[in-house]
Amino acid sequence: MKNIINSQFKMWSLVLALLMTTISCNEEYLDIPLPSNALAAEGAFSSIGAIDQMMSQLHFDFADKVVARYSMNRQFEPYGDNGYNARNLNLYLTNTLTPIDEGLYSWSALYRAVFSANFLLEGLPEADAPELDEATRNEYIAAAKVVRAYAYYQLVRLYGDVPLVLSTYAKDNQFLPRSPKADVYALIEADLLEAVTKSPSTPSQAYYINNKYIPQAILADVYLTQEKWSEAEAMADAVITSGHYLLDDNIDEVFLRSSTATIMATGYSAVYSEAEKNLAYPGADQCPADLNPLFQGFFEDTMFALTEGLLNSFEPGDLRKEKWVAFSNVNDYSVPAERYFASKYKFFGYYRAFDPAPGKEEDNKFIRLAEVILIRAEARAHLNDLGGAADDLDAIRNRANLDDTTASTQGELLDAILHERRVELFFENGKRWYDLVRTGTADDVLKVLPYKTGWTADKVLMPIPKDEIDKSGNALTQNPGY
């Protein structure tokens, strides 16, 4: 009997001992499958499906983070002299941003776009997806370079010297200090020039970054900002003479998807997604009730309006004032000028909940032919080709039902071009603000506006967010005046 018990005991002990040993050594037990909605970063570039989706992310980041979301539109119109906000965004209106203000999300948003581009630029050259041919690889690399270049172009214009981040490894980049503006512009030019050579020369979808005229148009602007007049003229000329773009005869059609003058737009597909709905049209969610077909009788009160200065700068008979500016009947505004709103995009919608009528689809225009023509005009004026400059200027004026320009000297022409840019490009991605800074006129123009209580000449650059300076262990430095 005792033996039986003993042997039973030994057997059980053995079983348990074995079990325990297995348990403690069984590392494989803890291996788990990946979630169904994710891919391992490692090896992702071996799949064309994954690469395509990463490219879609890049396009989205460009639309969301470089162009629309953090509102180059809304914020920088009041920051300059075009816009006036009815209730919020006072810090922009009065130029009283401080390094702790929320509006500075532009910094992180732009660097997030830089990250997306760097991620692709690291992966694409080595990508071994069998379906990825060389032409497509080059096109994708070019698109990533355009996004990176444009994000840096925004950064360098908003903040001045900025850290040059060229890789995705966070620990290498966390404490990078600011690089001189010249280095940043060098990178922008190199990226865009490479994009020009790697992009196809035929535009297929206007709102994709997939042809060489997009980097060329951006380069024209970049050269203009750097006062490289002949390079700017050449680049603008290349786009204008490519034969792919025509100014719309009818000013009503400029912002439609069907416009022949669109060089680049962050557009929307027929079937729009949640993400796209969040990409607000310029001013679309800021429109007063009586201008919004969706919610007659109600409005959201965070709209912003045209300043008196902009309103008065339209010449008599300018079709653009007639077609691109709307008057609100809502009697909530004490100042008459505040009752005029930009209505370049006719199809308003809080969340764009209705589909527009066929042929009336609109895309968020980012670079239009008119702008490139005005770049060439300005470059020509600086290069003393006054005739050529006036011709370009008149092409824009005539379309707006205005007579040829009366400006004749170089100085007069440059003033006329700057004015034309204001009335042509108002409420489009804050371009007026960049013009004021680029031409060195910001201080003169803004310091006389009575409501600009916080204006100083230093405000041509944004403050670096305090958070970022703190997190960098003071590797980042603050701009003067903040």
Partner 1 sequence: MEFKLTKVISTHRKKNLQWLMRAFLFLFCTTVFSFSSSDVFSQHAKINIETDRTISVDEVFKLIKEQTDYRFIYTQGMFKDFPKVELKKGTIRANKLLALSLSADDFEFKVSKNKTILIFEAPKKNSVRSIPQQQISGKINDVNGQPLPGATIQLKGANKASSSDFNGNFTIAASIGDILVISYIGFTTQEIVVADDKELRIVLKESIGTLDEVQIIAYGTTTKRKSTGTISTVKAEAINQRPVDNIMQALQGQVAGLSISSSNAGLGSPPQILIRGINSITSGTNPLIIIDGVIMNENPGGLLGGRSASNNYQDGLSVLNSLNPNDIKSVDVLKDADATAIYGSRGTNGVILITTKGARIGETRVTLNVSTGISRAATVTERLNTSQYLEVRQDAFAMGNVTATSVINPITPDNFNAPDLTLWDQNAYTDYTRLEVDNPAPSYNADFSLSGGTKENNFITSVSYAKKYDTYIFDPYQERYNMRFQYNHSSKNDKLKLSINSIMGIDNQKFSTLSVGGTTAVSSVNAPNFEWYKDDGSYNYGEGQGYISGSYYNSLPNGNIDRFSKTYNTMLSGQLSYKFYKGLTGKIQVNYGSQRNSYKHIYPTPAINVQNIYQTVPEANFSTAHFQSLNIEPQLTYEANVSKASITALVGATFLNDSNKSTGNRVLDPGDDNLLFNYSAGTSTATSSSSENKFNSIFARLGIEWDDKYIANFTFRRDGSSRFGPSNRYANFGSVGLAWIFTQESWLEDSNLLSFGKLRGSIGNTGNNNIGNYGYLSLLDSPYQQYQGNAQLNPGSYANADVQWEETNKLDLGLSLGFLNDRFLLNTTYYRSLSSNLLVQLPLTSQTGFSSYTGNFDGEVQNAGVEFELTTNNLSANNPVGWKTTFNFTHNKNQLKKYDGLEESPYANTMEVGRALPSTNSRLRFLEMPYHFEGINPDNGIPIIKDANEDGRVDYYDYFNNSAWIGSSTPSTWGGMTNTVSYKGFTLDIFLQFSNGIFSKWNFWGRSIGELYNVSTDVIDNYWKQPGDVTKYPRLYTGVTGDNTYIAPLDNYYSNSTANVYKGYYIRLKNVRLAYNLPTSFLSKLHIGNAQIYVSGENLGVYTPEKLYKDPETFWPLSTGALRTITTGIQVSF
Question: Segment 444-463, which members bind partner 1 (CB under 8 A)?
Answer: none
* Residue 347 sits in the site that holds partner 1 (CB under 8 A): no
**How far apart are alpha carbons 147 and 56 in whole angstroms?**
12
Element (DSSP H or E) covering residue 29: none
Least distance to partner 1, CB of residue 454, Å? 11
- Cα 254 to its chain centre, rounded Å, is 19
Interface map 173-212 toward partner 1 (x if CB under 8 A): xxxx------------------------------xx----
Shortest distance, position 42 Cβ to partner 1, whole Å? 7
The least distance separating partner 1 from the CB of residue 173, rounded to whole angstroms, comes to 5
Site for partner 1 contains 307 (CB under 8 A): no
Site string for partner 1, 4-43 (x = CB under 8 A): -x--xx--x---x--xx--xx-xx-xxxxxxxxxxxxxx-
Among the listed residues 57, 242, 401, 456, the single contact to partner 1 using CB under 8 A: 57
- Indicate the length of the chain as a whole number: 482
By CB under 8 A, what part of segment 387-426 binds partner 1?
none
Instruction: Decide: residue 101, CB within 10 A, 0-12 exposed, 13-18 middle, 19+ buried.
Output: middle
Residue with tokens 């007026």: 432
Q: Indicate the residue type of 320.
A: R
Long-range Cβ contacts of 420-424 (<8 Å, 24+ apart): 420/374, 420/393, 420/396, 421/371, 421/374, 422/82, 422/310, 422/313, 423/310, 423/313, 423/314, 423/315, 423/318, 423/320, 423/321, 424/320, 424/370, 424/371, 424/374, 424/396, 424/400
Contact status: 302 vs partner 1 (CB under 8 A): no
At residue 229, the 3 state secondary structure works out as helix
Cα distances from 292 to residues 259, 283, 284, 348, 349, in angstroms, run: 23, 11, 9, 6, 7
Q: Apex CA 179: angle with CA 178 and CA 182, to 5°?
A: 145
Encoded tokens for 474: 């003071």
Site size with partner 1, rule: CB under 8 A: 92
CB of 425 to partner 1, least distance (A): 25
> Other CB atoms closer than 10 Å to residue 58's CB: what's the count?
22
Q: Return the number of the residue (150 or 268) whose C-beta is nearest partner 1.
A: 268
Question: Are 413 and 389 in contact, with CB atoms under 8 Å apart?
Answer: yes
CB of 190 or CB of 275, closer to partner 1: 275
User: Contact, 247 vs 238, CB < 8 A?
Assistant: no
Contact set for partner 1, span 119-158 (CB under 8 A) = 119
CA distances to 174, 203, 387 from 246, in Å? 46, 14, 21
For residue 335, state whether it binds partner 1 (rule: CB under 8 A): no
Instruction: Rule CB under 8 A: say whether 327 interacts with partner 1.
Output: no
Which of 2, 128, 353, 359 is close enough to bind partner 1 by CB under 8 A?
353
Q: At closest approach, how far in Å is the CB of 164 from partner 1?
A: 9
Report the run of H or E that residue 68 belongs to, with start and end.
Answer: none
Query: In this complex, which beta carbon is closest to partner 1, that of residue 208 or of residue 260?
Result: 208
| Shorter beta-carbon distance to partner 1: residue 289 or 436 | 289
Which range of residues in 141-149, 196-204, 267-275, 372-380 is near partner 1 by CB under 8 A?
A: 267-275
Structural tokens at position 285: 């969610």
Least gap, CB of 382 to partner 1 (angstroms):
35
Residues 60-79 that bind partner 1 (CB under 8 A): 60, 63
Q: Tell the smallest beta-carbon distance from residue 27 to partner 1 (Å).
A: 7
Q: Please say which residue, 398 or 453, places its beta carbon nearer to partner 1.
A: 453
Residue 357 makes contact with partner 1 by CB under 8 A: no
Site string for partner 1, 226-265 (x = CB under 8 A): ----------------------------------------
Q: Which is nearer to partner 1, 178 or 438 (CB)?
A: 178
One of 82, 118, 259, 429 touching partner 1 (CB under 8 A): 118
CB of 366 to partner 1, least distance (A): 14
Q: Of 34, 59, 95, whose CA–CA distance to 437 is shortest?
A: 95
Helix (H) or strand (E) holding 326: strand 325-327
Q: Minimum distance between the CB of residue 111 and partner 1, rounded to whole angstroms?
A: 5
Q: Is residue 358 close enough to count as binding partner 1 by CB under 8 A?
A: no
Cα(286)–Cα(380) distance, integer angstroms: 38
Rounded Cα distance between 56 and 48, Å, is 12
Whole-angstrom CA distances from 184 to 72, 348, 413 are 20, 37, 31
Comparing CB distances to partner 1, the nearer of 126 and 274 is: 274
**Nearer residue to partner 1 within complex by CB, 116 or 439:** 116
Task: Identify the residue among 170, 204, 357, 359 touching partner 1 (CB under 8 A).
Answer: 170
CB of 208 to partner 1, least distance (A): 8
Stretch that binds partner 1, among 246-254, 290-298, 413-421, 431-439 (CB under 8 A): 290-298
Residues 323, 432: Cα–Cα separation, whole Å: 19
Q: Which is nearer to partner 1, 312 or 334 (CB)?
A: 334
Rg of the chain (C-alpha set): 27
